[in-house]
Amino acid sequence: MPVRLIESLATTEPLADLFSDESILRAMLEFEAALARAEARLALIPDAAANVIEKVAKDGVFSASDVARDTLRAGTPSIPLVKALTELVRSADEDAARYVHWGATSQDVADTVLILILKRSRQLLDADHRRLEQALRKLSDEHAQTVMLGRTLLQPAPPVTFGLKAAGWLGAVRRGWSRLSTAFSQALILQFGGASGTLASLGDRGIAVGRALGDELGLAYPDAPWHAHRDRLAALVAACGIATGSLGKMARDISLLMQSEVGEASEPAAAGRGGSSTMPHKRNPVGCTLTLAAAQRMPGLVATYLSAMVQEHERAVGGWQAEWPVVSEVIQATGLAIASMAEVAEGLTIDPARMRANIEATRGIVFAERAAMLLASSIGRDVAHRLLEQATRRSVEENRRLTDVLREMPEVTRHLSSEALNDLDKPEAYLGVAEEFRKRLVQNQE
């Protein structure tokens, strides 16, 4: 299914198809067919009735637009769907129609359908996550020794390596996926509780039917129905928010590195990608833009879901009814962010020469900390810090290298040799344990 124009910057084609009307409708019919099969296995309804229900659910013609329209009057999509299914079954077998939706309640259908869609979305997100992780690992390894400016509060700072920066993104992406994967595993459970969550209409066979239904749908069976307890889904939504926030951080970094005055990285180029309607020279950070847009939408969506958790007694009025569009947007935003950053990482171009040139452009003032630490052992940290403040101010005002200024200061040359000053602004010599940190992040498989 093509992406709707209004959602063209908010989802991917596979996710748009998964959350389409047709997909949701198929999942609802899948629930009803699976319920009939499970109950027939347990001899609660006739096999013949189950066969008719399954056949009609599979082959019958249903109108998603009619179900959607009638949902506004019914308050749940299950009621018009079950009514339409029952009528079609009745036209095929009057007796079988008695057993449609046997023992279930509307929310059982709605919640389980949502879980089925989430289960399928997990596979899509996981595939793109694997691409992203592999690409980031490769970038980090290839640029383990590529020096670049560190930047704190958007200002030049002592050097780092691009390999470490990419490893930092990788670590956050892995941690985010670990939380998300755990939340998926806990949330992908059947909903089947009947009218009040006791399955009283099925007598003492309720748990047996629930287990059989879970088997049919490939879903775990919970300790009890969770109609008004939304904590598992809330954990999933929150995990999506955190994961997307980490992807947004990566996107922000890359988009800043792509600024022409920085020029240290660029997204992959392709026909129709990243251009401008008026400026032919533009190469815009499209993947980063999509990811940042998703990250900016996410906090409000997470907050909406959390506010809907406070649900009344055994069935909420307005709480779970708010969830479908929220969860749909959350999953699609997360999936878009993962897919976008996977594409960016796989084709990201790094300019090591520009990175080094940007270090050189600071005239060595980013090594003021190094000079101060070398002096501190002889004259004390406070005195050394004051001297370097004076030296860096002169360096900036006179547009001169910091080392040249330091060579003119007797307070410095009494303690630092000419050789030490010559090596002062070599970035490879002031990386600390950057490579050890990088390796720890890349090798950690959490």
Return the CATH number at 185: 1.20.200.10
What pTM did the predictor assign? Answer: 0.93
The reply to whether 331 falls in a domain is: yes
The reply to whether 416 falls in a domain is: yes
Per the structure, how many domains does the chain have?
3
Q: Are residues 380 and 443 in the same domain?
A: no
Q: Are residues 19 and 69 in the same domain?
A: yes
- At 100, which CATH number? 1.10.275.10
Query: Is-catalytic flag, 121?
Result: no
What does the block give as tokens for 192?
């089947």
Q: Are residues 121 and 62 in the same domain?
A: no
The reply to whether 199 falls in a domain is: no
Active-site residue (options: 315, 386, 400, 401) = 315
Query: Is-catalytic flag, 315?
Result: yes
Active-site residue (options: 8, 63, 91, 276) = 276
Q: Are residues 65 and 115 in the same domain?
A: no
The reply to whether 203 falls in a domain is: no
The reply to whether 390 falls in a domain is: yes
pLDDT at site 444: 82
The CA distance from 294 to 301, in Å, is: 10
Residue by residue, pLDDT tens for the chain (446 residues) are: 678 888 989 999 999 999 999 999 999 999 999 999 999 999 999 999 999 999 999 999 999 999 999 999 999 999 999 999 999 999 999 999 999 999 999 999 999 999 999 999 999 999 999 999 999 999 999 999 999 999 999 999 999 999 999 999 999 999 999 999 999 999 999 999 999 999 999 999 999 999 999 999 999 999 999 999 999 999 999 999 999 999 999 999 999 999 999 999 999 876 545 444 444 444 789 999 999 999 999 999 999 999 999 999 999 999 889 999 999 999 999 999 999 999 999 999 999 999 999 999 999 999 999 999 999 999 999 999 999 999 999 999 999 999 999 999 999 999 999 999 999 999 999 999 999 999 999 998 65
Residues 64/21, Cβ–Cβ less than 8 Å:
yes
Q: Is the dihedral of CA 277, 282, 283, 284 positive or negative?
A: negative
pLDDT at site 270: 65
Q: Are residues 35 and 171 in the same domain?
A: no
Q: Are residues 304 and 263 in the same domain?
A: yes
The CA distance from 401 to 408, in Å, is: 12
The reply to whether 197 falls in a domain is: no
pLDDT at site 141: 98
Q: What distance, in Å, lies between the first and last C-alpha atoms of the chain?
A: 35
- At 384, which CATH number? 1.10.40.30
Cβ-based neighbour number of residue 435 at 10 Å = 15
- Between the alpha carbon of residue 96 and those of residues 52, 108, 112, 236, 383, the distances in Å are 7, 21, 23, 38, 91
Q: Are residues 180 and 267 in the same domain?
A: yes
Q: Are residues 384 and 443 in the same domain?
A: no
The reply to whether 194 falls in a domain is: no
The reply to whether 298 falls in a domain is: yes
Closest C-alpha among 197, 222, 226, 195 to residue 211: 222
Cβ-based neighbour number of residue 75 at 10 Å = 12
For residue 339, what are the domain limits? Answer: 106-189+226-360+433-446
